[in-house]
Every structure is written in C-alpha cells, then in structure tokens.
Amino acid sequence: MILNQFALKRQVTVLALLVVIVIAGLYCYVTLPRESFPDITIPYVFVTTTYEGVAPADMEELITIPIERKLKGIDDVEEIRSTSAEGISTVAIKFLPKVDLDDALQKVRDKVDQAEGDLPADLQDDPVIKEVNFSDMPVIRWCYRGHSACGDCRV
C-alpha cells in the first residue's frame, strides 16, 4: 500500500524511471553479442568399448569396472556414469565447467591407456574416446526425399 501511494504521488519520477529502464534494456539488447551457431562446450568425455558376444554382466566386470577405477584418479571430475550392455560398454565422464576440455581429453586417454593392461587380451578394438562437439553435428537433417527433419521419413 505504501508503494502504491508513493508511485501515485510521484508520477513523474516513476515515468522517468520507466524510460531509463526501457532505454537501458534496448541498449543491452542492441550491444549483446549474438551468433547463429555459437560454440557450446559441453564438459563430457565418453569412453566406448566394444567386445562382441559378451553378456552385460561380463562387460561390466571385464571392461567397465577396470576403466572406471583408473578414471577415478582424474582431477576436476564431477561425475562418472557407465552403462554396460551386450557387447558394449560406455563410460561418461562429466567434468567441472571450468576445465579445459583438451587437457581433460588427454588425461582420459592417458588413464584409459593405463587401464588397457587390465582389459582382456582378446579385445578386438581399442576403447574409443570422444568428446561432445556440436560443431560436428548437423543443424538440420535432410532425408533422401528432400524433407527437412519433419518426421515423414523417420530419419
């Protein structure tokens, strides 16, 4: 109630304040940098290992747990999650936002190289280490018929 009375008694002051706020908002909107495709850094690194014909429980015991043990020693890790399915193991490492992703990727590579001695000898492929990079992903997908990603072709 007191605020209402203050505003009604000083209408010129309230209108002047409104004009200042609108001008400041317009200035900020005009000077705000905008990009069509900004570089977004997501602090995730994924380690994917394939071992065909192996059950999920064995994948966890033979592949996932040894890799996780080595990765626990890395600094600035916020969270480590893993998924073991038939023939594939995926370990997702989430780093703190302040981390340089190139350094984090190298640390993960070093730790996975150390873990390779604990992995089965008959593993066909080395673990694949990837980071999430939106510049590698298309913005719009086109199907073979020329539709954009409208869902007609389930692409």
Contact (CB, 8 A) for 96 and 41 = no
In a domain, 100, yes or no: yes
Tens of pLDDT, residue by residue, the chain (155 residues): 688 888 888 889 999 999 999 999 999 999 998 877 777 778 899 999 998 888 999 999 999 999 999 898 888 899 999 999 999 999 999 999 888 888 999 999 999 998 888 888 888 888 999 987 766 666 665 565 555 555 555 54
In a domain, 68, yes or no: yes
User: Is the same domain home to 52 and 116?
Assistant: yes
In a domain, 141, yes or no: no
Contact (CB, 8 A) for 80 and 68 = yes
Residues in CB range of 61: below 8 A, 6 or more apart: none
User: Is the same domain home to 99 and 45?
Assistant: yes
User: Is the same domain home to 26 and 66?
Assistant: no
122: domain range?
41-133
